[in-house]
Amino acid sequence: MNRRNLFTAAVTLLAVIGLAGCKDEKAGSEQAAAVPVQSFQWKMVTAWPKNYPGLGTAAERLAERVATMSAGRLTIKVYAGGELVPPLEVFDAVSRGTAELGHGAAYYWKGKVPAAQFFTAVPFGLSTSEMNAWLSKGGGQALWDEAYAPFGVKPVVVGNTGMQMGGWYNKEINALDDLKGLKIRMPGLGGEVLSKLGATTVNLPGGEVFTALQTGAIDATDWVSPYNDLAFGLHKAAKFYYYPGWQEPQAVLELLINQKALDSLPADLQAILTEAARAASQDMLDDYVYHNALALDELKQQGALLKRFPDEVLDAMQRESAVVLGELAAQSELNGRIWASMQAFQAQVSQMHKLSEQELYDWR
């Protein structure tokens, strides 16, 4: 074979190989295109009024963040409290699968899961940073998972309001006896402490708090802190604004996930949901730190009278808190392990914080 014929044969062979490769690439891309991208449309029920600052908006932002991060493969329709289920039935709705997600506060479900009260706030307990660290590094998340597992629900931190206020009172509290006979809206362990001190406590969803306080159905209420209290106009229904928030040194907001629904997601969407919740947690905390400062100024300008609980009252609250927590811990083996873990962690981190944060705050 001469050179010209050899060159022609080589060119022909390369052309054949190239065409075959193109066919293989085309077939491969057609095959990939034939596999549909799986998408999920979920519902999230919340315990909050629609678009309520901080709490309600955090749920909406979480849904937006998940949709963006997943390129629309996981979309979440958010329902305010009462739109799909009542605010205090969010846990049941997620457990049943009525909704794949819920957004609320764990102590709302204490009638169904007594241990849940540990995972919102403990009177005179962990701060925001301490609570987050206990959950993520100190074994708290595993205990939380264990408490909710029988109900087919996976809990995840999705925000924190930070240090709260002591609440709004229509009567001035100058001594311990002033609490006796008062009707006070306060959920969770703080409410049980006040009951032991002679008050009558009730658990009302946020949307009912203002009317109950204004009409005299209750004499006092805790809610959150200046940002949310101003939004509800609580200063128009009560005169005295008490601090510190002994009952809630911080308050975890939780994302409730139906376990079967979570297991149905591919690994990347599970990771997106987890990381979106982490981002939402920081966003909420930033929101409260910023807006609480502005709202407190506004409340003072509108006539709210800031009052510190007397030492006598705080001492009694602290003593009864220890009793209430001990009783809760004694209810079950799981409760006992949760409280022991939380106490040990608080003792450990308090040593550092006394030398650092507390010293600085005192000098500031």
Q: Express each pLDDT in 37-61 by its tens digit.
A: 899 999 999 999 988 999 999 999 9
305-344 pLDDT, tens per residue?
A: 999 999 999 999 999 999 999 999 999 999 999 999 999 9
Q: Is the pLDDT of residue 148 over 70?
A: yes
Taking residues 179-183, what's their average pLDDT? 97
| Two tokens, residue 306 | 């800031």
pLDDT at 8 over 60: no
Q: Label residue 205 by pLDDT band (50, 70, 90).
A: confident
CB 193 within 8 A of CB 210: no
> According to the model, what pLDDT value does residue 203 have?
86
Q: What is the pLDDT of residue 35?
A: 55
- What gap in Å lies between CA 255 and CA 159, rounded to an integer? 9
Is there a common fold for 40-162+250-290 and 167-247+303-333? yes
Q: Taking residues 133-155, what's their average pLDDT? A: 98
Give mean pLDDT, residues 14-28. Answer: 46
pLDDT in tens, 92-103: 999 999 999 999
Q: Is 50 exceeded by the pLDDT of residue 20?
A: no
Closest CA to 287 of 2, 53, 50: 53
CATH for 167-247+303-333 is 3.40.190.10
Alpha carbon 204 to its chain centroid, in Å, reads 18
Rg, the chain, Cα only: 27
Task: Give CA–CA dist 89/47, Å, rounded.
Answer: 8
Was domain 40-162+250-290 assigned CATH 3.40.50.620?
no
Give the pLDDT score at 37.
82
> pLDDT, tens digit, for every residue of 249-307?
999 999 999 999 999 999 999 999 999 999 999 999 999 999 999 999 999 999 999 99
What pLDDT does 51 receive? 86
Digit-coded pLDDT (tens) for 60-72: 999 999 999 999 9
Tell me the domain boundaries of the chain. Answer: 40-162+250-290, 167-247+303-333
**HSE (side-chain half, CA atoms, 13 Å) at 60:** 12
The 10 Å Cβ neighbour count of residue 13 is 10
Task: Check: CB of residue 242 under 8 Å from CB of residue 173.
Answer: yes
First-to-last C-alpha distance (Å) of the chain: 95
Instruction: Give residue 6's pLDDT band: very low, low, confident or very high (50, 70, 90).
Output: very low
Q: If you average pLDDT over every residue of the chain, what do you get?
A: 91
- Separation between Cα atoms, residue 183 and residue 28, nearest integer Å: 71
Average pLDDT over residues 20-39: 56
Mean pLDDT of 209-227: 96
Cis, peptide link before residue 244, omega less than 30° from 0: yes
Q: What integer is the mean pLDDT of 23-29?
A: 49
Mean pLDDT score, 171-193: 95
In this predicted structure, the answer to whether residue 196 has a pLDDT above a threshold of 60 is yes
Higher pLDDT, 167 or 14: 167
Range scoring the smallest mean pLDDT among 5-19, 285-299, 341-355: 5-19
